[in-house]
Amino acid sequence: MSRQRHRTVVKGFLIAGLLSISTAHAQLSGLLNQAGNSSGSTGGPGNLSGLSNGLSLQSLTSSSTGNVAGVLEFCVKNNYLGGSASSVKDSLMSKLPGGSSSSDSGYTDGSKGILNSGDGKQLDLSGGGLQQQITKQVCDKILAQGKSML
């Protein structure tokens, strides 16, 4: 490869890398801005619109007992919540028709990290990166909802 062609290829990689960094920086900045708009005692983001189809942490609840149980299963399995969440999940499971998770689509969605809200919106908690911090806060919120359902 000639020197000039080599330089052109290297410049192309550098430009591509800088564009990737710029895009990542913009996404990070957006997430940090959302986190900075927190309210309440949770310390979490006040508005999750960029990640959750307009849902907010303060009003975030699940649409069904099965979905709460499934989300708690997801949260425990992925180490967002500790052992006490398992007992809440188990208590909620006993309230499901037939006591079985296999026939409850809300539980199935929840165990995959999909929170179904009461107004038909969904929040996918299975992302990584900074979304993990938000997911932890959502898990805490759903645990509180689960406890209130007992």
**pLDDT the model gives residue 73:** 95
Classify residue 41: in a domain, yes or no: no
Residue 121 sits in the same domain as residue 56: yes
Residue-wise pLDDT for 108-126, tens only, equals 999 999 999 888 888 888 8
Classify residue 31: in a domain, yes or no: yes
Classify residue 68: in a domain, yes or no: yes
**pLDDT the model gives residue 18:** 44
The residue ranking higher by pLDDT, 126 or 67, is: 67
Residue 54 sits in the same domain as residue 99: yes
End-to-end CA distance of the chain, in Å?
Answer: 70
The C-alpha angle with vertex 127 and arms to 15 and 58, in degrees rounded to 5, equals: 120
Residue 30 sits in the same domain as residue 74: no
Concatenating the DSSP letter of every residue in 94-138 gives TTSGGG-STT-HHHHHHHTTEEEPTTS-EEE----TTHHHHHHHH
Residue 99 sits in the same domain as residue 142: yes
Among 79, 68, 41, which residue's Cα sits nearest to residue 150? 68
Query: Total structural domains in the chain?
Result: 2
Residue-wise pLDDT for 8-46, tens only, equals 655 555 455 444 444 444 444 444 444 444 333 333 334
Range of the domain at 64: 47-148
Classify residue 61: in a domain, yes or no: yes
Residue 94 sits in the same domain as residue 138: yes
Instruction: Sort 112 into a burial class: Cβ within 10 Å, 0-12 / 13-18 / 19+.
Output: middle
% of residues, the chain, pLDDT over 70: 59
For residue 65, give both structure tokens. Answer: 């007992």
Residue 70 sits in the same domain as residue 121: yes
Alpha carbon distance 41, 115 (integer Å): 22
Residue 85 sits in the same domain as residue 110: yes
